[in-house]
Amino acid sequence: MTGELAEAGERGTLEIDQSVLRKIVEHAADRAPGTRHRARTVAGLGVGGDSGPSAKVSSGADGLDVRLNVALSYPSPIRSTVADVRERITRDLDRIAGQQVRSLSVDVDALQGDRVPESPRVQ
């Protein structure tokens, strides 16, 4: 063995599963200031615990298509918070997985204040 590496094409390929890319997106969004977790619910009833941002990632010929659902703090500057989330996701996907983002859709599906209700609405 001479210690030299073979050419990149001869060494094999690297495939990153969509679930890994989804986790990178969700983690990047979760770290952004202004994003919040929301209480887990089923049919409007609390089931305990919380959930953070959720994403769907699909691969296209020239990059990734990302769709993110996220809750934000209220009150907060929505445009600048979403811009920060977009920048973090794009940067982390490139830095961690070497993937480029073709499209990134961010759906703000909740605004949550800091006040937590003392008791659930339905008992």
Sketch out the chain's domains with CATH numbers: 15-112 (3.30.70.1350)
Residue 46 has a pLDDT of 58
Residue 112 has a pLDDT of 85
Q: Report residue 57 as tokens.
A: 């990632």
Residue 49 has a pLDDT of 61
Residue 121 has a pLDDT of 57
Residue 2 has a pLDDT of 58
Question: What distance in Å separates the CA atoms of residue 52 and residue 25, rounded to the nearest whole number?
Answer: 11
Residue 14 has a pLDDT of 82
Residue 9 has a pLDDT of 72
Residue 37 has a pLDDT of 83
* Average pLDDT along the chain, 123 residues, taken 10 residues at a time: 71 88 96 83 60 90 94 92 97 96 95 66 58
Residue 101 has a pLDDT of 97
- This prediction's pTM: 0.76
Residue 86 has a pLDDT of 97
Residue 5 has a pLDDT of 78
CA dihedral 51, 55, 99, 4 (to 10 degrees): 50
- State the sign of the Cα–Cα–Cα–Cα dihedral 101, 102, 107, 113: positive
